[in-house]
Structure 1
Amino acid sequence: MIGPARVAAYDIQLAVSAGRADLPTAIAHARARLKDERDRALASDIATGVQRWRAALDHVIAHFSTRAIDRLDPQVLEILRLSAYQLLHLTRVPASAVVDDAVKLTGRAGKRSAGGLVNAVLRSISRHRHALPLPERPDDPVDREKAIEYLSVTLSHPQWLVERWLDRFGFDATERWLQFDNAPAPLTLRANRLRIAPPELIARLARDEVAVRPGRFAPDALIVERGHPRREADEGLFVIQDEASQLVALLAGTRPGAPVLDTCASPGAKTSALAAAMNGSGCLVACDVRDRRMRLLRRTVEATGAANVRLVQADLLQPLPFAPHFNCVLVDAPCSGLGILRRDPDDAAARRRSGGARRPADLRDVFERARGERVGRVRVPRDRARIRTGRSPPSRHVGPGRGRRRTRSSADISAPSWPRGLLRRRFPTAGLKACTTPVP
């Protein structure tokens, strides 16, 4: 019998490669079919790891199969990828079990004639796993061709992205960034203060043998070190949310009773954080444009008990129907997502396939509307904040505009609520940036 986690990982890979689903959606669907939490974790690990190390895996597979990747059957290639990842990165998995399941999985996929090839390639990879034929770090980083080959293949990032970052940041900074992306991201929770205080949640988790430690930057952040907090998740006692994302609610400086507008709000982690900061009082309007994203947003709001949230389906590129004078407007605009490749390694490839996020002109229009300059009835008092966030590296293409419409962008880094040293670190958390944009 083939291990159910490997079957699930194979199904995830097929769905992602065919463009039928993005990685998080494919993983969620596969996990729902698995009964054992260990199988869920292994399937997620394999699927995420294959996307993270795809370029390096393909390079190794091509070497030991003595044929180009595009000459391999797509289904056989996915089996080789997920099996090679296990051999090279999951040290507790016996190599014999990986190879045996791969051959069986090949037969299950209707490719029985390729079983010999799969067996031979994987055994060769296993024998040479301590001396893989990958490009070495160049002695002279100025050699652009060798630098790009090492960064894009050995550190497994899309070549177009490596070239961009190499030109902007130089070799050393790009290398550190790619190494950061390739490190497994921790599972970070935000205690839902609408239902439970952080110390009480820590005690609850401990009783269920889930070990956590406080986050480094966000006051409600808990990093899971051991265990699976499924029961607490079902009760809505926490939200899975990176610390960088949690800090946005602090930057907003919301207070109980103040009206707040959260545009582009799905899937709702920041919305629920804002609601908690408001102690569940006042009016928090949360918007998104697509039906599927509205369903995700509604699910989060209901699970966290954010009773002061009002959901409105709206497109920020169109005139907005709001009359209240909001004290804060949050714009978590669609972006490249390149700042969170550590969490979602498929994102770069997906953005490339789909042509990227919204065009810069659209993003500028989104920011202008949020500022109130081009939406007559959305106004923010001068002493309050409009927060725009993104998960993209700094770009010279996306900004508030030119000439008269240019705005100052700033964050009050001297505020006591900001952890000391946070903004001086290059890679402390997921790559999310945020800034306030006051009305001139």
Structure 2
Amino acid sequence: MNIKVRIVKLLMEFEEGKYSNLLLNDYFREHGHELTRGEKAFITEVFYGVIRNLIFLDYQIDKRSKKVHRRWLRNMLRLSMYQAYFMNSDEAGIAWEATELTNEKLGTYVGGFVNGILRNFFREMEEEENFLRENDALDIFYSYPRWFYEKVVAEYGEEAEEVLKSYKRIPSMSVRVNTLKYSEEEFEEFLDRKNIKIIKYIEGGVYYLDSGSLIDTPEFKSGKIVPQDGASFLAARTLGAKAGERVLDTCSAPGTKSMVLAEDMKNEGTITSLDIHNHKVRLIRRSAKRMGVEIVEAKKLDAREVAELNTEFDKILVDAPCSGYGVIRKKPEALYNKDMESVEELANLQYEILTAASKVLKVGGELVYSTCTIFKEENTDNAAKFLAENPNFEAVSIELPGNIKGKFDHLGGFNIDYTEEHLDGFYIIKFKKNS
């Protein structure tokens, strides 16, 4: 099957509501043996690239025709325009291949229509950026919903355009070494053998790499290494869980943060890992088994109901459900399925979970609140509200590796922000219960 036809098929499945990362992983698991490493890389870049730039690409199509209703046709135009504009590929070759594939699928009349649309776009595309800038349409140029664009401008001011550009950057592959099964020295020797280069290292065993070809390796399958972003790793590591403690991970699935906690605890003590879905609880259990973790107790429970556990905990991690705007490099669809009302609803949910968790923390215990998003409603505002309403808690200082970019807020919480090239956008703050 032609590579571009494969991408069109994937984009059509994405439009049906499937998560982009799960969709692509499943596709490669089923069809990866049919593809070269270069073909996988091309599919990955174009598939994610189209999703990241969907608003811009659809604007360009609709500007030139109001007749593109067939999903196959629209996606062929999207990926062709993406190749030309964002990958600087040969325009004549792009137009020829799109026309031929459309001829085969929909007939020569539609093929000619595609050729005309693309040729028109190619002639005018160098003028598009200036036109959109002059017409206050950077939301279209960077492919963000208008409300999101205005929110970023309001919150970040002169830095807004750098924020918008940053979260369209192509992400790097990141993995963490499972120290219960493997050592960093062994992993680095493995990378040397594979000729894979380290782009960034985070103390504790997280590596950003120049290749994503690790999924099919025995090291990956046996749980010696696990895919994880450095930001979520640092949220778990900041808790400072110790051997023998009783720890609660309120919103655990898929379990990667619980596994970090287990490593910090030397596999001694108890970690109660919660999720509201049975299938995700099973996922946590499978992850623990694969990674050799024996102290995780995965349970189905709404984190707002943690009082039902009838237990007090030494440490609690509240990595709360959020809008996900800090991870849109990896999950770009988050931009298209939420709005400001969703942000406010999620902020309320996060606060309810944080408040419920705080009541089952021992006096003298510590709690980390974190989110993978970039707006103050879900981050600093929630933390400030919690401290104001719970005077028996204080924010305590946290330390992060020196090579992590971002800034502290006035409470002592840390925003891994748009200046960080590799890690997800994240907010981390730590509280201590004094009475």
Establish whether TM, by shorter chain, passes 0.5: yes
Q: Does the CA-based 8 Å contact 2:239-2:315 persist in structure 1?
A: yes
Counterpart code for 1:102: A
Q: For residue 436 of structure 1, what is the aligned residue in structure 2?
A: 430
Q: Residues 411 and 84 of structure 1: is their aligned pair in 2 closer, same or farther, counting only changes over 3 Å?
A: farther
Q: CA-to-partner distance for each residue in 1:36-80, whole Å, 9 max, x for gaps? A: 2433332222111111112222233334xx224x75433311111
Q: For residue 343 of structure 1, what is the aligned residue in structure 2?
A: 330
Q: Does the CA-based 8 Å contact 1:265-1:288 persist in structure 2?
A: yes
Q: Residues 407 and 183 of structure 1: is their aligned pair in 2 closer, same or farther, counting only changes over 3 Å?
A: farther
Give the one of 399, 405, 408 matched to 2:382.
399
- 1:106 and 2:89 matched: no
- SS of equivalent to 2:376: coil
Q: Does the CA-based 8 Å contact 2:364-2:433 persist in structure 1?
A: no
Q: Does the CA-based 8 Å contact 1:80-1:118 persist in structure 2?
A: yes
Q: Does the CA-based 8 Å contact 1:249-1:277 persist in structure 2?
A: no
Cα distance, 1:161 vs structure 2? 0.2
Distance in 2, Cα, partners of 1:409 & 1:124: 61
- SS of equivalent to 1:182: coil
- 1:133 and 2:164 matched: no
Counterpart code for 1:16: F
Counterpart code for 2:184: P
Distance in 1, Cα, partners of 2:2 & 2:401: 50
Cα distance, 1:420 vs structure 2? 6.7
Q: CA-to-partner distance for each residue in 1:382-430, whole Å, 9 max, x for gaps? A: 33311111012232466264764477563513x4x64377443742231
- SS of equivalent to 1:310: strand
- 1:83 and 2:80 matched: yes
- SS of equivalent to 2:338: helix
Q: Residues 283 and 48 of structure 1: is their aligned pair in 2 closer, same or farther, counting only changes over 3 Å?
A: same
Q: For residue 70 of structure 2, what is the aligned residue in structure 1?
A: 73
Distance in 2, Cα, partners of 1:136 & 1:95: 21
Q: Residues 156 and 408 of structure 1: is their aligned pair in 2 closer, same or farther, counting only changes over 3 Å?
A: farther
Matches within 5 A, 1:25-174: 25-34=22-31, 35=33, 36=35, 37-63=37-63, 66-68=64-66, 71-91=68-88, 95=91, 98-106=94-102, 110=106, 113-126=109-122, 131-135=126-130, 146-147=135-136, 149-150=137-138, 152-170=139-157, 172-174=158-160
- SS of equivalent to 1:246: helix
Distance in 2, Cα, partners of 1:201 & 1:439: 39
Greater helix proportion: 2
Q: For residue 322 of structure 1, what is the aligned residue in structure 2?
A: 309
> More deviation in 35-44 or 277-286?
35-44
- 1:197 and 2:210 matched: no
- 1:225 and 2:197 matched: no
Distance in 1, Cα, partners of 2:285 & 2:107: 43
* Structure 1: gaps of 5 or more residues: 140-145, 373-378
Distance in 2, Cα, partners of 1:273 & 1:120: 54
Distance in 2, Cα, partners of 1:352 & 1:14: 23
Cα distance, 1:205 vs structure 2? 2.2
Q: Does the CA-based 8 Å contact 1:188-1:240 persist in structure 2?
A: yes
Q: CA-to-partner distance for each residue in 1:318-344, whole Å, 9 max, x for gaps? A: 354424432111111111111121222
Matches within 5 A, 1:197-346: 197-215=183-201, 217-226=202-211, 228-229=213-214, 230-231=216-217, 232-346=219-333
Cα distance, 1:127 vs structure 2? 5.1
Aligned residues: 414
TM value normalised by structure 1: 0.84
Q: CA-to-partner distance for each residue in 1:61-103, whole Å, 9 max, x for gaps? A: 334xx224x7543331111112211222234x55555444434
Q: CA-to-partner distance for each residue in 1:262-315, whole Å, 9 max, x for gaps? A: 111111221111111112221111111113322432333233222221111111
Counterpart code for 2:187: L
Distance in 2, Cα, partners of 1:47 & 1:153: 19
- 1:176 and 2:176 matched: no
Q: For residue 16 of structure 1, what is the aligned residue in structure 2?
A: 14
Q: Does the CA-based 8 Å contact 1:266-1:294 persist in structure 2?
A: yes
Cα distance, 1:209 vs structure 2? 2.8
- SS of equivalent to 1:279: coil
Counterpart code for 1:201: F
- Cα RMSD for the two superposed structures: 2.9
Greater strand proportion: 2
* Structure 2: gaps of 5 or more residues: 408-415
Distance in 2, Cα, partners of 1:419 & 1:41: 32
Q: Residues 316 and 128 of structure 1: is their aligned pair in 2 closer, same or farther, counting only changes over 3 Å?
A: same
Distance in 1, Cα, partners of 2:367 & 2:121: 53
Q: CA-to-partner distance for each residue in 1:130-162, whole Å, 9 max, x for gaps? A: x142345858xxxxxx44x12x12222221100
Work out the percentage of aligned pairs sharing the same amino acid.
21
TM value normalised by structure 2: 0.85
Counterpart code for 2:429: C
Distance in 2, Cα, partners of 1:307 & 1:133: 56
Q: Does the CA-based 8 Å contact 2:173-2:211 persist in structure 1?
A: no
